[in-house]
Amino acid sequence: MSTWPYEKLYNIEVFKEESKRLLDGIARCRTIEAVRATLLRRTTKIFRSHFNGETPPAHELIRMRDCSMALMNIFSERSEARIDFSIVNAFWDIAKGRARQDLKPGFYAEMINWIRGLERRANFQFLVDYSKHDSATNRQKSIERSNDLDDLWESIDKRIKRYKDGLTQESIIKRQERRDKIIKSVGGKPGDWDNWKWQVRNIFTDPDRLLMLASLNQDQAQTIKTALKGRLPFGLTPYYLSLMDNKPGQNDRAIRAQVFPSEQYVNTMLSNREKGRHSFDFMLESDTSPVDRITRRYPGIAILKPVYTCPQICVYCQRNWEIEQVMAPGSFAVESEINSTVSWIKEHPAIREVLITGGDPFIMGDRKIESLLSKLAAIPHVDLIRIGTRTLVTMPMRTTDRLAELLGKFREPGRRDIAVMTHIEHVYEITPETVSAVNKLKRQGISVYNQLVYTFYVSRRFESTSLRLLLRRIGIDPYYTFMPKGKAETMEYQVPLARILQEQKEEARLVPGLRRTDEAVFNVPGLGKNYVRALQHRDLITVLPDGRRVYEFHPWEMNLGICQTYIHKDMAILDYLNRLAEIGEKPDDYDSIWFFI
């Protein structure tokens, strides 16, 4: 358990001490509107008071501005109208000495840090201080700055090297030993391993076998049994099983988290079964499906799903409502369904791009893939075909020379391009086999892009930065970093929006440009991708009593027509930091997180 003393840092007594200038006198107010007006006026006055004389340094000015905006937002009448909670009333009660048992440390943490930021009292440490060179000459300053950058990168490199990848000799040897053990356990021969169809035939779904091979404990095995009994999708390939260490640890935490469902996930899924499978359609894809197996949310692209299953199931899968079981036979589209989708695309010349996904389309045989691509390539207005697959990490032997050549022949430079979208979560997933699979595609001129789901299990300082660096070395472009969806069944994977902003603007910003080409997005249910780095795409509304920030996300087409917005209740930052402390991280290393709003 965590020993981080957050309850001593963030409580009502600390809050009252830190907020004296804001709270002073509001106990005498007679109406909540008088309290609101006072808090808004004082916030503005405190912000302006810092300009009486010397202008604050730029970094403090930006923090003061952001904290001022955050406080002004949560004090507003509009915020209270959107969410049934009044921060103004909470401040008033505290000033009058009324008990507010509903307010938790997470709430006080947000208020305390924002008030400190507003009043130029925030704790903040820089990785490097360039101001110490102000008195130097230009060349001398340049040399000293360059030396500082060397020191800065050395400190970054140490952090990056915390995360072991699958290309080290140690990892390779360890996994070869596990491979041999797995082959023996299923009665296979050494040559079977590189046959992707053998991998599919031997997918692991039996928790009793995984007890030994994956070092599961009895509780985890029982959770899997409960999931299977309730017909929840579960399964992992022999290859992916070989990536796990003999004893669960820091290195393979992210790998295990992707495939082994937690008790919370299983219980939530099963308890909501009576609502019907569409109740788990978080993205409301059923509302954007004009015909079976097609999803269309944007004007120029359509999603085509020829298969509703995978060789391996990710616990946090967006389409867990469509996937019945690993490699379920009835999940594959029949010829008439494919023809129907292709005909529909032909009828809509606005569609220039088709994303083939699912499920994982690479579990189809070569002839079926070739047939589908031939039909799409024959449509004059389709000039880009993307294929979404996770087999580069779950079953890299699927990318054979023949498959790569098959894909490559549909590239017609100047007419049509083919791209592969994959999903690699962690450097420990990347192996020589993955490198070989990527290389086969690249030799055919096929671009490969990665979509990272930024879950708790890959969110430590510089953890995803280490992935970006390795992805580029093996020929994959970072494309999207997805904010985990607020699905009830996957709350254990959640990360606060502020952490994603912090990672993008601090850690990712330190690596060279071509290694940080990914865009951070939140896929808004029914509305589409929201670029979280762009402040105009969302509003902070309030902070709930338990410390969760509430955001209102605007859709991508907000300036094109009248659209609905989406209210998102985020994960409490204090809960996230405490969870990091429980796995050995130092919350102080993340202290700027409060100021990413």
Q: Which of 29-43, 310-324, 361-375, 454-468 has the lowest mean pLDDT?
A: 310-324
Distance between terminal CA atoms of the chain?
29
Residue holding tokens 């791009």?
353
Mean per-residue pLDDT over the chain, rounded: 92
DSSP strands (E only) in 201-323: 294-298, 301-304
- For residue 358, the model assigns a pLDDT of 87
How many Å apart are CA 184 and CA 162, to the nearest integer? 33
Token digits of residue 124 = 């903040």
CB atoms within 10 A of CB 227: 25
Q: What is the pLDDT of residues 246-274, one digit of tens each?
A: 999 999 999 999 999 999 989 888 887 66
Token digits of residue 283 = 């993205």
- For residue 529, the model assigns a pLDDT of 86
Q: What is the mean pLDDT of residues 567-578?
A: 96
% of residues, the chain, pLDDT over 90 = 74
pLDDT of 85 above 70: yes
Q: Which of 98-112, 512-526, 554-568 has the lowest mean pLDDT?
A: 554-568
- For residue 323, the model assigns a pLDDT of 77
Burial of 395 (C-beta count, 10 Å sphere; 0-12/13-18/19+): buried
For 569, the enclosing helix (H) or strand (E) is: strand 566-569
How many Å apart are CA 566 and CA 359, to the nearest integer? 27
- For residue 283, the model assigns a pLDDT of 67
Greater model confidence, 346 or 131? 346
How many Å apart are CA 289 and CA 295, to the nearest integer? 4
Hey, CA dihedral for 89, 95, 98, 101, is it positive or negative? positive
Which residues 6+ apart lie within 8 Å of 223 measured at CB?
A: 260, 261, 262, 263, 266
Q: What is the mean pLDDT of residues 577-594?
A: 95
| pLDDT grade for 277, boundaries at 50, 70 and 90 | low
- For residue 583, the model assigns a pLDDT of 95
pLDDT of 128 above 60: no
pLDDT of 127 above 80: no
Three-state secondary structure call for residue 137: coil
Q: At what angle do helices 32-49 and 105-118 cross, to 10 degrees?
A: 40
Q: Which letter does DSSP use for residue 518 in this model? A: -
Query: What are the strands of the beta sheet with 301-304, ordered from one edge?
Result: 294-298, 301-304, 353-356, 384-388, 417-422, 447-453, 477-482, 519-524, 528-531
Burial of 283 (C-beta count, 10 Å sphere; 0-12/13-18/19+): buried
pLDDT of 321 above 90: no
| pLDDT grade for 140, boundaries at 50, 70 and 90 | confident
How many Å apart are CA 265 and CA 336, to the nearest integer? 36
| pLDDT grade for 361, boundaries at 50, 70 and 90 | very high
Model pTM score: 0.94
pLDDT of 200 above 60: yes
Q: How far is CA 538 from CA 213, 529, 550, 552, 555, in A?
A: 46, 12, 10, 5, 9
Residue holding tokens 């197996």?
293
Residue holding tokens 């939530």?
268
pLDDT of 238 above 70: yes
How many Å apart are CA 550 and CA 95, to the nearest integer? 24
Q: What is the pLDDT of residues 64-81, one digit of tens each?
A: 999 999 999 999 999 998
Greater model confidence, 438 or 359? 438
For 387, the enclosing helix (H) or strand (E) is: strand 384-388
Q: What is the mean pLDDT of residues 433-451?
A: 98
How many Å apart are CA 516 and CA 480, to the nearest integer? 10
Q: Do the beta carbons of residue 404 and residue 366 sit within 8 Å? A: no
- For residue 280, the model assigns a pLDDT of 67
Residue holding tokens 């402390």?
581
- For residue 327, the model assigns a pLDDT of 87
How many Å apart are CA 90 and CA 98, to the nearest integer? 9
Which residues 6+ apart lie within 8 Å of 484 measured at CB?
A: 316, 453, 454, 455, 456, 490, 493, 494, 495
> Dihedral of the CA atoms 9, 15, 19, 23 (nearest 10)?
180
- For residue 141, the model assigns a pLDDT of 81
Residue holding tokens 């952001």?
66
| pLDDT grade for 276, boundaries at 50, 70 and 90 | low
Nearest by Cα to 318 from 518, 493, 579: 493
571: left (phi over 0), alpha (psi -120 to 50) or beta: beta
Greater model confidence, 270 or 226? 226
Q: Which of 8-12, 262-266, 424-428, 488-492 has the lowest mean pLDDT?
A: 488-492
Q: What is the mean pLDDT of residues 138-142?
A: 83
Half-sphere exposure of 47 (CA within 13 A, CB side): 19
Helix, strand, coil % over all residues of the chain, rounded to 5: 50, 10, 35
Q: What is the mean pLDDT of residues 492-501?
A: 95
How many Å apart are CA 337 and CA 416, to the nearest integer? 24
DSSP track, 534-558: -GGGEEEEEE-TTS-EEEEEPPTTT
Q: What is the mean pLDDT of residues 3-30?
A: 93
Q: Do the beta carbons of residue 496 and residue 455 sit within 8 Å? A: no
How many Å apart are CA 427 and CA 469, to the nearest integer? 9
- For residue 133, the model assigns a pLDDT of 57
Three-state secondary structure call for residue 574: helix
Token digits of residue 78 = 């509009």
Nearest by Cα to 21 from 119, 123, 120: 119
| 302-320: b (≥16 Cβ within 10 Å) or e | bbbbbbbbbbbbbbbbbbb
Q: What is the pLDDT of residues 141-190, one digit of tens each?
A: 888 888 888 988 999 999 999 999 999 999 999 999 999 999 999 999 98
